[in-house]
């Protein structure tokens, strides 16, 4: 009985001392943002609210990793550019992306709970950082290996911007039509983006397709998962061409995407018709995400210019869609 009483007393004393000392010790870890940000600066607290010590997180802002976050920690950083792409990578859950909209002169609190990144109201954010450890930003520059993926796949970050359509298009005397289709894939419902050398075309989920009208001649089409997939198309006016977005395992046993020409010698007309009949036609709804897409388009232009230079130097290979692969299977 006396032994149990001593245990209870020690537990109470420990609780009291912890309540007094922990805030004092922990206060040394806190960071106070500048009282006044520069007019073009935005202050950001990133709160990594994870209890599992195995779920270490690497936080990136645009092209660079900025912090290495253990469980139950936070960091503070400033940005002074237009909207920024935030990547949080963990070994187990994988990648989480977030579009940090530029609010000059403001201090905001981003909160990650193991599922998604959200923005807290200021008073909740201010309370949250009092309970966890402050981690300074990384000193060494380290590139964000997920930056190009995030830029070229806006559907992972912003709201769904593809809508169903009944309007199918046909080629004419001055233009060809290319249909991009995705059948079943290994990554169930993720929307992979497709770009031309000039603009964003749209994203495909499994069992969807979209169409574009292009001038005759050579065009490049680009997708990205871990590696770039580039299709070099040479099309003729009046022709209908088909491209499949495939997801499969590559030689290193990781998932990849490929933009593959649908060739007559490989996919016959009945099979292609069946693909189209079981897929939903969609189109890029630019008006629904116009402001947010500006960030992705501006950043993607730089990435795509670099890809095209590497193609010229034979550092990135391409698949070929040739003029004689046109076929008319009806709408």
Domain boundaries, the chain: 25-145, 153-325
Mean pLDDT estimate for the chain: 86
pLDDT band at 1 (very low <50, low <70, confident <90, very high): very low
Which residue in 72, 65, 120, 54 sits closest to 88, CA to CA?
A: 65
Return the minimum-mean-pLDDT range out of 37-51, 181-195, 210-224. 181-195
What is the 3-class SS of 95-141, one letter each residue? EEEEEECCCCCCEEEEEECCCCEEEECHHHHHHHHHHCEECCCCCCC
How far is Cα of residue 228 from the mean position of the Cα atoms in its chain? 14
The pLDDT of residue 253 is: 60
Q: Which CATH class is domain 25-145?
A: mainly beta
239-253 average pLDDT score: 83
- Confidence (pTM): 0.84
Model confidence pLDDT, tens digit, residues 18-35: 333 433 334 344 555 555
Query: In terms of Cα–Cα distance, which of 64, 69, 57 is closest to 142?
Result: 64
pLDDT given at position 82: 79
Taking only the tens place, the pLDDT of each residue in 68-105 is 999 999 999 999 877 899 999 987 667 899 999 888 88
* Separation CA 162–CA 193 (nearest Å): 11
- 3-state class of 31 per DSSP? coil
Give the confidence band of 16 by pLDDT, cuts at 50, 70, 90: very low
């Amino acid at each position: 009985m006396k032994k149990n009483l001593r245990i209870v007393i020690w537990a109470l004393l420990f609780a009291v001392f912890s309540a007094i000392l922990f805030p004092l010790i922990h206060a040394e870890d806190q960071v106070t943002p500048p009282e006044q940000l520069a007019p073009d600066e935005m202050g950001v607290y990133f709160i990594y609210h994870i209890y599992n010590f195995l779920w270490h997180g690497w936080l990136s802002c645009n092209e660079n990793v900025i912090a290495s976050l253990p469980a139950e920690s936070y960091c503070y950083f400033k940005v002074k550019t237009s909207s920024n792409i935030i990547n949080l990578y963990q070994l187990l859950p994988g990648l989480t992306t977030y579009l940090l909209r530029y609010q000059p002169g403001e201090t905001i609190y981003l909160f990650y709970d193991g599922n998604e990144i959200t923005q807290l109201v200021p008073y909740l954010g201010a309370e949250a950082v009092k309970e966890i450890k402050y981690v300074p930003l990384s000193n060494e520059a380290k590139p964000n290996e997920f930056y190009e993926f995030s830029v070229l796949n806006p559907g992972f970050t912003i709201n769904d911007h593809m809508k169903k359509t009944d309007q199918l298009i046909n080629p004419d005397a001055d233009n060809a039509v290319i249909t991009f289709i995705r059948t079943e894939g290994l990554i169930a419902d993720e929307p992979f983006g497709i770009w031309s050398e000039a603009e964003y075309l749209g994203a495909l989920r499994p069992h969807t397709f979209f169409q574009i009208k292009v001038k005759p001649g050579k065009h490049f089409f680009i997708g990205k998962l871990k590696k770039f997939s580039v299709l070099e198309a040479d099309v003729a006016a009046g022709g209908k061409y088909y491209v499949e977005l495939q997801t499969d395992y590559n030689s290193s046993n990781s998932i990849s995407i490929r933009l593959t020409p649908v060739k007559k010698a490989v996919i016959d007309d009945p099979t292609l018709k069946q693909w189209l009949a079981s897929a939903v036609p969609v189109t890029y709804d630019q008006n629904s995400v116009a402001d947010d897409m500006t960030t992705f388009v501006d950043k993607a232009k730089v990435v795509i210019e670099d890809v095209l230079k590497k193609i010229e130097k034979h550092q990135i290979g391409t698949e070929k869609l040739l003029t004689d692969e046109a076929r008319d299977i009806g709408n």
